[in-house]
A and B are shown apart, each in its own frame.
Chain A
Amino acid sequence: AQSVAQPEDQVNVAEGNPLTVKCTYSVSGNPYLFWYVQYPNRGLQFLLKYITGDNLVKGSYGFEAEFNKSQTSFHLKKPSALVSDSALYFCAVRDEYSYGGSQGNLIFGKGTKLSVKP
Chain B
Amino acid sequence: DAGVTQSPTHLIKTRGQHVTLRCSPISGHKSVSWYQQVLGQGPQFIFQYYEKEERGRGNFPDRFSARQFPNYSSELNVNALLLGDSALYLCASSLPSNYGYTFGSGTRLTVV
A residues near B (Cβ < 8 Å) are 32, 34, 36, 41-46, 49, 51, 90, 92, 94-95, 97-111
Contact partner of B105 (CB less than 8 A), chosen from A42, A46, A103, is A42
A5 to B98, CA, bound (A): 24
A103 to B48, CA, bound (A): 9
A111 to B41, CA, bound (A): 7
Q: List 13 A-B contacts (CB under 8 A).
A: A43-B4, A43-B104, A46-B101, A95-B56, A97-B56, A98-B55, A101-B31, A102-B55, A102-B56, A106-B33, A106-B92, A108-B43, A111-B42
Q: Does B72 reach chain A (CB closer than 8 Å)?
A: no
A42→B56 contact, CB < 8 A: no
B103→A36 contact, CB < 8 A: yes
Instruction: Please tell me the number of chain B residues within 8 Å of chain A, measured between CB atoms.
Output: 32
Task: Tell me the smallest distance from the CB of A63 to a CB of chain B, in Å.
Answer: 16
Interface centre among A32, A43, A99, A104 (most CB of B within 10 A): A43
Contacts of A103 in B (CB 8 A): 31, 94, 96-99, 101
Interface contacts beyond A102-B31, A105-B33, A106-B43: sample of 15 additional A-B pairs, CB < 8 Å, sorted by A = A46-B102, A90-B42, A90-B43, A94-B99, A95-B45, A95-B56, A101-B31, A101-B55, A102-B50, A105-B45, A105-B58, A108-B42, A108-B44, A109-B42, A111-B41
Contacts of B43 in A (CB 8 A): 44, 90, 106, 108
B101→A104 contact, CB < 8 A: no
Task: Tell me the smallest distance from the CB of B35 to a CB of chain A, in Å.
Answer: 8
